[in-house]
Structure 1
């Protein structure tokens, strides 16, 4: 294969992969994102009419995509009391709920952060996937959604 053809193929691959990458659509606000230990991207976007959840390898088509009407999504917000700041956004999809969370111990010296997604099916926790590293985007605080029950 010629060098030009290889370069063209590589360039096309990069351009194409960026169009299917899990990322908030134009005009949407990134509510949350992080990478897991296995290198998968957890992302929540506020598209105005919907709250969108995606999970999968960056630069590839997401393994899971859920668009929940805004009226069905919910949130839990730290109430200003206690040492643990915690915020969640719950994105329902039938009998499954993806509960994206972010929390920090404000009294510890390290202010350790825990973040990720809890997956519940029929009200039972079936999986927790934690974020790895420090590149966590958290804009859950103050999101305008109904309170979680």
Structure 2
């Protein structure tokens, strides 16, 4: 009986994990987090593409954008100042999804801010924050052109 319960528990954990992390078909997770409203922000990369998705798992994402790598750009911390931050910008027409992660290096708790800024015609129209738990980010050093 204990073995059956363990198998069901393991299957439930695996299915919950796969609903959360969707980078598939040889793509790698660049960024993933759960928002304060239980939605997932995710950026995946391959050698030729960058993909952004946003939505409530396990349903189909509300927003999905897949572009060529040369269309995406990145902001990389220059090594100066107390706030270390990184971002990847994914354009989609006149809208840009700027997925960000940053940490205040000076404060004792090293407060982290992460999420996505939604820009329309280069004006911030919305910011969606990550809940602060289970943030996976590999934005530092990503090989993309610098954001202008």
TM over 0.5: yes
Q: CA deviation at 1:59?
A: 1.1
> How far apart are residue 104 of structure 1 and its match?
0.2
C-alpha separation in 2, matches of 1:146 and 1:19: 30
Gaps of 5+ in 1: 1-14
CA separation of 1:99/1:115 partners in 2, compared to 1, >3 Å: closer, same or farther?
same
CA RMSD of aligned residues (A): 2.1
Q: What does the per-residue CA deviation read over 1:62-116, in whole Å, with 9 as the maximum and x for residues that have no partner?
A: 0000001100100000111111000000000011000000000001000000000
Change (3 A) 1:42 1:74: same
User: Are 1:78 and 1:86, in contact at CA under 8 Å, matched by a contact in 2?
Assistant: yes
Listed as ranges, the matches of 1:119-134 within 5 Å are: 119-134=118-133
Partners in 2 of 1:22 and 1:85 — Cα distance?
A: 25
Q: How many residues align?
A: 136
Structure 2 unpaired stretches of 5+: 1-14
Cα drift, residue 134 of structure 1: 2.0
**Counterparts of 2:105 and 2:69 in 1: how far apart (Å)?**
30
Moved more, 17-26 or 95-104: 17-26
TM-score (norm 2): 0.85
Instruction: Write the distance in 2 (CA, Å) between the matches of 1:42 and 1:56.
Output: 7
Which is greater in Rg? Answer: 1
- Consecutive aligned runs of 4 or more in structure 1 exceeding 4 Å deviation: 17-22
TM-score normalised by structure 1 residue count: 0.85
